[in-house]
Structure 1
Amino acid sequence: MARGASDVKTWTRWQDWVVAVVGAYTALSPIWTATNSAATATLIVFGVLLLVTSLWSLARPGAVGSEYGHAVLGVLLFVSPWVLGYAAFAGAAWTSWVAGVIAVALGLLAVPESARMHRAAVGH
C-alpha cells in the first residue's frame, strides 16, 4: 500500500540524524584535532554543509536532492586531505575520510526512501 503525502513524517529518518551528528562532529573537530589552516577550514565548512543538508533532509523527507548532497559532500570531504594537502595531519585526515564515507553511504542509503516519499507527496 502506498503512503500518502499525509503519511510522510518529518524529523524521523535515522540516516539524516546520523549525518547531522557527523556534520557537527566534523565542524567541531579542529578544536581537539591537530590541523593546518586548510584542514581547519575544510572540516568546518564541510561539517556545517553536512549539518545543513541533513536538517534539510529531516525537514523535507521527500527532497531527494539533499540525499545526493550528502553523497557529493562526502566524496569531496573524503578526497580533501590529498587535494588540499593535509593528509599528514592524521586526526584531520581520518576525520575527513571516516565522515566522508559515512556521508556517502548514508546519503545513498536514504535515496530510495526519499524518492518514494517524494513520489507519494507529489502523486506520481
Structure 2
Amino acid sequence: MFSDSRLQDYVAVVLGVFAALSPLWLDTNTNAMWSLIVLGVLVALCGIAQIARPTMAGIDYAMGLFGALLFISPWVMSYTAFSGASWTAWIVGVLSVVVAVAALPAMNTRMHGGGLATHH
C-alpha cells in the first residue's frame, strides 16, 4: 500500500504538522492560531491521502491551494504584526505549493505509463 508513495507526500505531512503545531511556540492571536492550525492540518491530510492513495491526482492540486491560502493568510486574516506566525505561514505556504507542483510531474508520469508520448 505504501510502496508507491513519493517523498514529497511525507514532506507535505511534516510541513502541515509543523504549521498546525507552531502556535504552541509562536506568539499569535486567534486569527493566526486558527489559520495555522486549520491550513496546516489540511496540508498534512493531503500528504496522508497521497501516501494512502497515490493515484488521487486532485489531492496535489488541493495541497497547492491550501499552501497558497496559508501564504496569503497573514494579510487576509490580519496577523502580519505577529512576525513569527506570519513567516511560518509564508514559508510553509510556499514550500507546500512547491511540494504540490513537484508532485505533479511524478503523478503524470505514473498515470501515463512512465514515459513521454511520441508523435509519428
For normalisation by structure 2, the TM-score amounts to 0.88
How far is the alpha carbon of 1:117 from its aligned partner?
2.2
SS of 1:15's partner is helix
Amino acid at match of 1:91: G
Structure 1 CA distance for aligned equivalents of residues 3 and 109 of structure 2: 14
Q: 1:86 aligned to 74, 79, 83, which one? A: 79
Residue aligning to 1:104: 97
Cα distance, 1:26–1:15 mapped onto 2, change above 3 Å: same
Matches within 5 A, 1:17-28: 17-28=10-21
Is 1:118–2:111 an aligned residue pair?
A: yes
- Structure 2: 5+ residue runs without aligned partners? 114-120
Structure 2 CA distance for aligned equivalents of residues 49 and 10 of structure 1: 23
Structure 1: 4+ residue segments shifted above 2 A: 8-12, 115-120
Indicate the structure with greater helix content: 1
For normalisation by structure 1, the TM-score amounts to 0.85
- Structure 1: 5+ residue runs without aligned partners? 1-7
Structure 2 CA distance for aligned equivalents of residues 103 and 56 of structure 1: 15
Q: Is the 8 A contact 1:63 1:118 kept in 2?
A: no
Name the structure, 1 or 2, with higher relative contact order (CA <8 Å, separation 6+).
1
How far is the alpha carbon of 1:58 from its aligned partner?
1.0
Q: 1:51 aligned to 31, 40, 44, which one? A: 44
Q: Is the 8 A contact 1:23 1:49 kept in 2?
A: yes
Q: Is the 8 A contact 2:67 2:94 kept in 1?
A: yes
How far is the alpha carbon of 1:10 from its aligned partner?
4.1
Q: Work out the number of aligned pairs and report it.
A: 113
How far is the alpha carbon of 1:9 from its aligned partner?
5.6
Percent identity between matched residues is 41
Q: Is the 8 A contact 1:11 1:59 kept in 2?
A: no
Q: Is the 8 A contact 1:62 1:116 kept in 2?
A: no
